[in-house]
Structure formats: structure tokens, C-alpha cells
Amino acid sequence: MTGNTHLHEEPSYLIDTGKRKGIMAWLTTTDHKRIGLLYLWSIMVFFIVGGILGEIMRTELFKPGQQFYGPQTYNAIFTLHGLIMIFLIVIPGLTVVFGNFVMPIMIGANDVAFPRLNLFAWYLYILGAAVVVISQFTGNGPPDTGWTFYAPYSTQTHTNVIAAVSGAFILGFSSILTGINFIVTIHRLRAPGMSFFKMPLLPWAVYATAWIQILATPVIGITLLMIIAERVFHIGFFDPALGGDPVLYQHLFWIYSHPAVYIMILPAMGVVTEIIPTFCQKQIYGYKAIAISSLAIAGVGYFVWGHHMFTSGMSKEAIWTFSLLTFLVAVPSAIKVFNWVATMYKGSIDLKPPLLYAIAFIFLFSIGGLTGLVQGALATDIQVHDTSFVVAHFHYIIFGGVGFAFLGAIHYWYPKMFGRMYNFRVANIAWCFLFIGFNLLYFPQFIIGLEGMPRRYFDYLPQFTWAQQISTIGGYILGIGFIILMVNLFRKNGEKAPANPWGGTTFEWQLPSPPPMENFATPPTVPDKPYDYD
Amino acid sequence: MDHIEMQRDDVGAKLGMWVFIFTEILLFGGLFLVYAVMRHRYSADFHQGSLQLNTFIGALNTVVLLISSMTVAMSITAVQKKDNRKATILLCITLLCAAIFLVDKYFEWGHKISIMLYPGTDLMQSLKHGYILFFSLYFFMTGLHMLHLVIGAVILVVALTKVRMGLINNEHYVLLENGGLYWHLVDLIWIFLFPLLYLVT
């Protein structure tokens, strides 16, 4: 019997082989691939909700003045939109779905270090999400603070802040457990002979992300507990009437929430780093530079939080330091962009859907990153602070960056996950809708932001109408793109996927599609270079 | 379980515990930051506030926790030397120390609560800002520490049961070791809380 036929006799991870069948088999699974899919389905459901909320906001903003609902409803909607998108989708997002599904395979492991803890983290995630949802329907109405829960408003508003904050706390705990799991996995379970510098770059990105998860998340945990204590016991840490300091809250909040941006973007960069060499059939340019810049982003990114508060009242020295560090953290990101482009240079480029998303990522992320520096610079930040320029900037990073990388990752590993191909032509059409819709939606916000359109406003001056209308239309085009994309991926009528449809070199392409429950019967042989196309 | 059993990896389990301990230290780190800012701003009030705390009880609790840390470490050695009976006794002493700590705290907190000196009361609201923040921090920090102490004690109770049943023995003792690590964390945080709250005068 040859090794090949032996592999195909193993039932795939999608087939229940244990005692439990059907949904119970999934809800009690400790297999990293299945847990990755559990996260994928949950995130997809939340994304549909968050996306519809976004469309409802855009619809209201089509014209100045009130169209469909009042300002309080608008505040509640943008708060929930932010909570769902940030805490439920982009912060866990790529890490939990693809970190779970492919990272262990890429390092030649059969599972993560703590499989049961992994499942427990998913249940915590669902519990946290449930508490956030409950906060919308109980107490004195849905929270209206924005996802940032800024004190002192969050400690005084009568809306149901405590439930929402508790939900975020539970989600943070889930994130910490996943981070611990991945760090131990990468330290302990690499295939024999795979040193750190022989690891593919997605595991590197997941590793750097995991460190931020465990070093930053506890700080938001304690801060959210303080908000709860402030509301219940009036401890006064953030209440000026009791001697506290609201700016202190902002510091504590951003000590987590800025590194959280890197929790989102690092795995996205990791995904792009996997896609580009595969579709250019060329070794990645500057392997070590990319690996180390992941760690550099994680390290420096921990010390830039103050740039969210240039207008909140800080000493001049603090402002200068935070501004300088902000410019510094852009350097490793730029290194990565240069390396991706250099990898494509003279490669045999095969413009399949995953690569389209990766290229869109580079384009949109560069716009988002460079406009971020506009806000890192002190003088211009005063002008654009709290305007829709900021909204456009972070959507270019979070949606244009993380979101497009996520879609790229789905199209890249879809054959591996489900064992089927999808229709490339339809996927390309969906990409066009998404790319055009995205830019129409957010680019005008840069322009009117510079002209003074404030963010989080329910109403606006008539002179901004043209841009708001382009944005809304762009939002609808984006929505259509998502519908096409989902229909295409859900049809599942494509041909059966071969083990290695794209000609990739990392371990997951050596396994059948979909992989068996036990990834590797024997540990795989580790090549000298993870991306060897010569 | 529908999944292949993973190989046992004690080093990995301990690494996971260490990383978790980092997160716990950062959790308290947020509070230490608030403490530092507030103490800088209201140093005179913090001085006066800490005079209100009972240094004797605080010192007693420090000693009690140090002893408990020692006994938990000794119980691991005992298990390694195949002496589960001794380990059981040592773990019982550790848990007894935890109980003493909680009783002390009960009297300490009870006294302050009986004179209405806790966040949210009219008495608190009438005090100077520095006092309010000092006592808020006192209750928040010692309260959160107490919660950790209870969690640590629960882990040790589980470990104790397993030691008695022989499930923790000289070859399988990583649960006890991790419980011990967590217990040292509880001790360590108190070592910082005690001088910051009781001795800053």
C-alpha cells in the first residue's frame, strides 16, 4: 500500500467517527479544525448582524435630518455595530478561525496544546456574545456610549452599560485563553526539526498576536471591572466629583485597545504573507524581516496608545513621545508591504481570487496606514480628531485590511476546509463589487472629514450631502458583493478539491482536502525553507 | 471524546500556567497604575488614610500567606518523594492559612463596614477626595485579591482530593505544581498590596 492511498482511506475531519453524531459531535469536539469552523460560523452570523446595522446607519445618513429613526436610536445602533464588529469579529476573527484551523497543521502538529481549553474558549466567546446581545434588550435600553465606554458618560448614562461591559470582559477572557493556548502550542508542538526560523509566517504572526492578547487584554479586563464598580459602588476612580480622572480611563482603555488593533492586523498580514508566495510561485522576499517585524509591531505597538488622546489633555513631552513611537510602529508595517511587493516582482503571478484579495489588502491597508500617520502627527491630528476622517482611516485598516484578508483567507483555504472548489468567475465578480463598494463607501469620508464632518453624528450640514450619498450607495454595492460571495461559497457544488489546488508549499497542502481527523500519522519532514519554489 | 488523546506534556502545561500568571499580574497592574496616579495626586490623604488601616492584621496576614506558600511548596516535594500522607497534611495547613486570612479579612472589612466606611455611603461622600479614592482602592484591590485567594484555594482543594486518591503521585503532579504556582501568585500580590496600602505612611 502506498502512502498516498493510505491517506485517502482515513475519514475526513468532517465525518463523525466518535460516539456522538451530528450537532452534538460538533459541540463537544476538541479538534482544532472543527473548533475553527465553529468560530467561522459564529463569526459569520455576527457579521451579518453587524453589517446590517451598518447599512441601517448608512440609510439614515442618506439625507440630512431625521429620515427613519431618532438620534438616540442612532447612538444605540453605532454602539452595537462597534461592539459586534470589534469585540466579536475583528479582534478574535482571523486568529480563532485560521489560527485554529491551519496554524497547528502548518507547524506539523496534530492539535493545539490544550484542546479542551480551546473548546472552552469558544463557549466563553458564545457566552460573552450572548451577554452583549442581552444588554440590548434588558435594563433601561441598549448602551449608547460607543464601543469605547468612555467615562464619565459610561458611568452615568442610564442605559444598560453593565451588561455590555460584562460581555466584553468575558470575551477578553476567551481571547486570553486562546492566546495562552497558541503560545504553548507554538513553543511545544512544532514538528521535530522545525526551528522558529523554519516556521511559515502565519504561525509567526499568530505567535506575535498571542503575546499581545495575553499582555494587553488583562488591562482592559481590570478597566471594565472598574467601570462596573464605578456604576455599582461609586468608587470614584474616573469621576471628577469624587476626585477621579476621566483621562485616566482613556489611558487604561487604550493601553489595551490600541494593541488590540495589532491583534486584528497581525494575523491579517500573516494570511497575506501566505497567499502571495503561493500565487507568485516564488519564495517570500525577506523571510526573517517579515518574521521579526511581526514581533516589532507587537512590541512597539504596546507603547503608542497615547496617540488616541492628543486632544484629551496630556503633557507636551508625553505627546511628542507617543507621536514619535507612532511613526516608529509604521516602519515594520512598511517593511512588510515592501516585502510583499518585492515577492510579486518577477514572480509568475496567477490572479486567482485569494490573490485578488491579498492585493486589495496591500492597496487598502497602505491607504489606511498612511492616513493613520496623518493622525499620528500632532498638528494635523488636532484638525481631524473626532471627524469622519478617523472613521474612514480605521475602516480602511479594519475592513480594508483585516476584512479583505479574512475574505482572502476564506478563498485560499476553502478547498482545504470543505474539500470542494468554488466558482472563480463568480468569486471575481464578488471581489469587484466589494472593492468598488468599499472605496465608494469610505473614501468620501476622508474628504468631508477634512472639511469638518464630525464622527458619530446623526445629522450633518447640507454641504456634506453629496459625499454621504456616495457613501451610502457604496455601502449598498458592498452589501451586494457580500451576498454574491456568500451564495458562491455556500453552493458547494464545485468539483472535488485536490490536495494542493494552488501549488502551495506549506504542510496543509500535503494533506488531503479535507484533512483527516488526525492530521499527521507520522510527523512531516521539515524543509529547510518554508517557501521553497526553486 | 471523538478525538485522539494528546500526549501528556507537563512542560507545556507549566508554560501555560506561567503565561496565565503574566496575565494576572497585568490585571493587577492596571490597579497599581491607578494607585500610582492617585497617590501622586493625593499623597497627604493617602498617608492619613493608611493610618486608619490595622497594620497588625495586615502583617499577620502577610505572615500567614508566607507560611502557606512555604507549605504548598513543601507538599510538592513530599509528593515527589512519594509521601502523599505528608503532602496531604501540608496542603491542609495551606488551606487552614487561607481560612485564617479570610477570617482576618472578615474582621477588618466588617469593622470598616460597620462604621459606614465603604464606597457609596454618605460618610464616604463627605470625606476629602484623597480619602474616598484611598478607601475605594483599598476595597477594590483587597477584594480582587481575596477573590483570587478563594480561586487558588479551590484549586488546592481539588489537588488535595487527588493527592488523597493517589491520582497525584510522584509521576503525575503537574496539577499540584500549577496550583502551587497560582498560590505563590496570590502570595506575591499580597506582598505588594500590604506595603502599598498599610505601610505608605
Contact between residue A431 and residue A290 where contact means Cβ atoms under 8 Å apart: no
**Beta-carbon-side half-sphere exposure of residue B124 (alpha carbons within 13 Å):** 23
Of A28, A184, A222, the CB nearest to B16: A184
Question: Residue A399 and residue A404: Cα distance in Å, rounded?
Answer: 6
Instruction: Answer with the residue of higher pLDDT: A274 or B2.
Output: A274
- Domain spans, chain B: 12-198
- Residue A454: name the closest of A439, A440, A468 by CA: A468
Task: Give the gap in angstroms from C-alpha B143 to the nearest C-alpha of chain A.
Answer: 11
- Return the exposure string of A379-389: e unless at least 16 CB atoms fall within 10 Å of the residue's CB, then b: eebeebbebbb
Distance CA(A233)–CA(A482), nearest Å, equals 45
CA distance A517 to A272: 27
Sign of the alpha-carbon dihedral angle for A71, A76, A79, A84:
negative
Q: Name which of A188, A217, A223 is nearest B12 (Cβ-Cβ).
A: A188
Half-sphere exposure of B135 (CA within 13 A, CB side): 27
Determine the pLDDT at residue B118.
Answer: 86
**Contact status of A321 with chain B (Cβ, < 8 Å):** no
In A419-462, where does DSSP find H-type helix? 424-450
Phi, psi values for residue A195, rounded to 5°: -80, 170
Extents of the domains making up chain A? 3-510
Cell of A254: 487604550
With cut-offs at 50, 70 and 90, classify the pLDDT of residue A20: confident
Query: How does pLDDT run across A415-451, given as a tens digit for each residue?
Result: 999 999 999 999 999 999 999 999 999 999 999 999 9
ipTM above 0.90, yes or no: yes
Residue from B3, B10, B31 to probe the interface with A (highest A Cβ count within 10 Å): B3
Q: Which amino acid is at A437?
A: G
CATH T-level fold of B12-198: Four Helix Bundle (Hemerythrin (Met), subunit A) (1.20.120)
Check B3 against A237: CB less than 8 A apart. no
The rounded distance, in Å, linking the Cα atoms of A304 and A105 is 34
Report the CATH architecture of A3-510: Up-down Bundle (1.20)
Percent of chain A with pLDDT over 70: 98
Of B16, B42, B136, the CB nearest to A180: B16
Interface test with B, best of A237, A247, A520 (most B CBs within 10 A): A237
How many other CB atoms sit within 10 Å of the CB of residue A170?
21
**A236 and B26: CB-CB below 8 Å?**
no
Choose among A324, A310, A489, A325: nearest CA to A390. Answer: A310
A252 contacts chain B (CB < 8 A): yes
Q: From chain A, pick out residues whose CB is under 8 angstroms from the CB of B120.
A: 233-234
Q: What pLDDT digit, counting tens, does each position of B93-145 carry? A: 999 999 999 999 999 999 999 988 888 888 888 889 999 999 999 999 999 99
Contact assignment for B119 to A236 by CB distance below 8 Å: yes
Q: Which residues on A lie below 8 Å from B23 (Cβ)?
A: 176, 180, 214-215, 217-218
Q: What integer pLDDT is reported at residue B3 of this predicted model?
A: 44
Q: Which of A193, A34, A57, A214 is nearest to A529 (CA)?
A: A193
Interchain contact, A235 vs B136, CB within 8 Å: yes
Residue A17, exposed/middle/buried by CB under 10 A (0-12, 13-18, 19+)? middle
Taking CB atoms and an 8 Å limit, are A233 and B120 in contact across chains? yes
A252, B22: Cβ pair inside 8 Å?
A: no
Beta-bridged to residue A516, according to DSSP, are: A12
- Residue A2 confidence (pLDDT): 34
